[in-house]
Amino acid sequence: MSAAGEIDPAIRQYRMADYVELLAPAAAEGDDIWCLRLILNEFGHFFCHANTAEREILVGAEPEPFDRRWDAFLAGYAEFLCATAGLQAPPWALDSGRYLDEGWVAGCSFPDERQWRIDTTPPQFAAHGVHYPAEHLLVDGVAVVNPPPPPAS
């Protein structure tokens, strides 16, 4: 990523909206684990290492709706990332179509994990009807809080 204030020209190819073409087929096949890995590990990594201006670009464009659960997940994740980074959530994340009527426990394949996942869900996800544990939202082992410092000169 680039130094504070500079925008890496390549950042636009890693926008959350651009992940839909990869997420949609996997979501249609029910491969939630792969979707989680892709959006949390790859997109989360880019967001974590981006400066403030780049972060706004990464979440600014609205992802095309493709699956009610994943539309809500992406909105909750955008809100969560923005809240932890001290940014305003993008307007698309607050759209009424990005909230589930019934709760979804994302990536839960073990019944005994269900309540733990619900109990440890950040409020940004819970508001969208998505339950996913906060500790699984860490990127590179740390919470996304501040942009990385500029490289030493």
Per-domain boundaries in the chain: 9-137
User: Which structure tokens are listed for 94?
Assistant: 């607050």
Residue with tokens 């819970």: 126
Question: How far apart are alpha carbons 148 and 153 in whole angstroms?
Answer: 15
- Going residue by residue through the chain (153 aa), what tens digit of pLDDT does each one get? 555 567 888 888 899 999 999 999 999 999 999 999 999 989 998 998 899 999 999 999 999 999 999 999 999 999 999 998 899 999 999 999 999 999 999 987 778 888 989 999 999 999 999 999 988 887 765 555 544 455 555
pLDDT at 143: 58
From residue 55, alpha-carbon distances to 47, 60, 103 in Å are 6, 8, 28
